[in-house]
């Protein structure tokens, strides 16, 4: 079999409300998340055993990597005894809230399922993916979705709702540091006043869903921002400057440290990008992308 090449997209959370902590220790959330046309590439070839290499030397390629976790989960679920060599061409920064690891995990499941002769039907693939992380369910659908529970309860948008998102331009930017997801959720536990009541979160999302006149910018929300802002003041400082200087309305994606701002169709970005690099240095990550 020739080499499989799978695109592994990034995502942003257009809307993210953490509504409380569950008895199992995870958090309940309500989110509208959308994939981007920017992401990683996963190359896969049949082999005697499971192995992983990556073109980014900073990324661990041991059992902590979600590619290898996904491969193990596939073997456990299906009993498949084959192997594969994975080569990950990494473009999505980690510690960013852009879902790179989860996206890689789903690409791994798709690749192994093809190599193994489609042992998992779509519902089973979704089930295995959901066990690997909250964002994985989004990448199985590969379109904007509403996620509830711990991220495992997924609702696809209507076609009319999807049209209001598809093709929108977005600027994604991240400082040279990342934010540890477990730390950010721990801060939510320590600062419970930042939780948003589940009914209030649904009402806020429904204002956009039920109103064709509502802009996508009016939807954007993230109640993890206050706890992350408190430790990383570079983020709110940048958001405020982009609001005042360029008229943008930035939001953090997931638990950060990446943020995004929706762009008008013909809006130039050169000055914005140059300013971000000037403020944060060349270790910053900045890309212009499109919502899928």
pLDDT tens per residue, range 50-82: 999 999 999 999 999 999 999 999 999 999 999
The CATH number of the domain where 225 resides is what? 3.30.70.890
pLDDT at 9: 98
Q: Do both 245 and 104 map to the same domain?
A: no
The last residue of a domain, from among 160, 191, 208 = 160
The answer to whether residues 25 and 116 belong to one domain is: yes
Query: Which of residues 160, 183, 211 is at a domain's end?
Result: 160
Q: Residue 212: its pLDDT value, please? A: 76
For the chain, what percent of residues have pLDDT higher than 70? 100
Residues 285 and 271 in one domain: yes
State mean pLDDT over 270-274. Answer: 97
Among 210, 155, 170, 221, CA closest to 11:
170
The pTM assigned to this predicted structure is 0.93
**Whether 40 and 124 share a structural domain:** yes
Question: What pLDDT score does 133 carry?
Answer: 85
Q: What domain count does the chain have? A: 2
pLDDT of residue 161: 96
124 plus 9 within the same structural domain: yes
Do 182 and 50 lie in a common domain? no
- Domain containing 60: what range? 4-160
Does residue 124 share a domain with residue 61?
A: yes
Residues labelled as active-site residues: 11, 135
Check pLDDT > 70 for residue 40: yes
Tokens of 157: 């948008």
Same domain, 90 and 194: no
Strands (E), 74-229: 83-89, 145-148, 153-156, 169-174, 221-222
pLDDT per position as a tens digit, 207-221: 999 987 789 999 999
How much is the pLDDT for 211? 86
Residues 150 and 184 occupy one common structural domain: no
**Tokens, residue 172:** 């994604």
- Report pLDDT for 292: 95
Check whether residue 198 and residue 286 sit in a common domain: yes
Tell me the pLDDT tens digit for each residue of 134-188. Answer: 889 899 998 999 999 988 899 999 999 999 999 999 999 999 999 999 999 999 9
Residue 1 confidence (pLDDT)? 61
The conformation of residue 175, written as its DSSP 8-state character, comes to -
Question: Do 122 and 107 reside in the same domain of the chain?
Answer: yes
Whether residue 203 is predicted with pLDDT greater than 80 in this model: the reply is yes
Whether residues 252 and 277 share a domain: the answer is: yes
b/e string for 127-140 if b means 16 or more Cβ within 10 A? ebbbebbbbbbbbb
CATH number reported for the structural domain that contains residue 53 in this entry? 3.30.230.10
């Amino acid at each position: 079999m020739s080499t499989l090449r799978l695109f592994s997209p990034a995502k942003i959370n257009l809307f993210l409300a953490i509504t409380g902590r569950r008895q199992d220790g995870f958090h309940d959330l309500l989110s509208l998340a959308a994939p981007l046309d920017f992401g990683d590439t996963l190359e896969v070839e049949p082999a005697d055993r499971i192995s992983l290499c990556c073109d980014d030397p900073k990324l661990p390629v041991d059992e902590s990597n979600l590619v290898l976790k996904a491969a193990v989960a596939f073997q456990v679920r299906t009993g498949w005894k084959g192997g594969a060599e994975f080569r990950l061409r990494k473009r999505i920064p980690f510690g960013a809230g852009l879902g790179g690891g989860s996206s890689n995990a789903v690409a791994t499941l798709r690749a192994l399922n093809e190599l193994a002769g489609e042992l998992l039907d779509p519902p089973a693939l979704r089930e295995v993916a959901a066990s690997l992380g909250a964002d994985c369910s989004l990448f199985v659908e590969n379109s904007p979705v509403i996620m509830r529970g711990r991220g495992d309860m997924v609702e696809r948008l209507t076609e009319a709702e999807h049209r209001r998102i598809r093709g929108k331009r977005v600027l994604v930017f991240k400082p040279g540091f990342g934010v540890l997801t477990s730390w950010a959720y721990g801060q939510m536990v320590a600062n419970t006043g930042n939780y948003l009541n589940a009914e209030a979160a649904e009402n806020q999302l429904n204002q956009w869903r039920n109103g064709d006149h509502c802009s996508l910018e009016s939807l954007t929300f993230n109640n993890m921002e206050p706890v992350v802002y408190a430790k990383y003041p570079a983020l709110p400082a940048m958001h405020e400057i982009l609001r005042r200087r360029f008229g943008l309305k930035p939001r953090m994606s997931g638990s950060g440290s990446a943020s995004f701002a929706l762009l008008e169709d013909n809006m130039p970005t050169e000055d914005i990008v140059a300013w971000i690099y000037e403020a944060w240095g060349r270790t910053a990550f900045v890309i212009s992308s499109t919502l899928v």
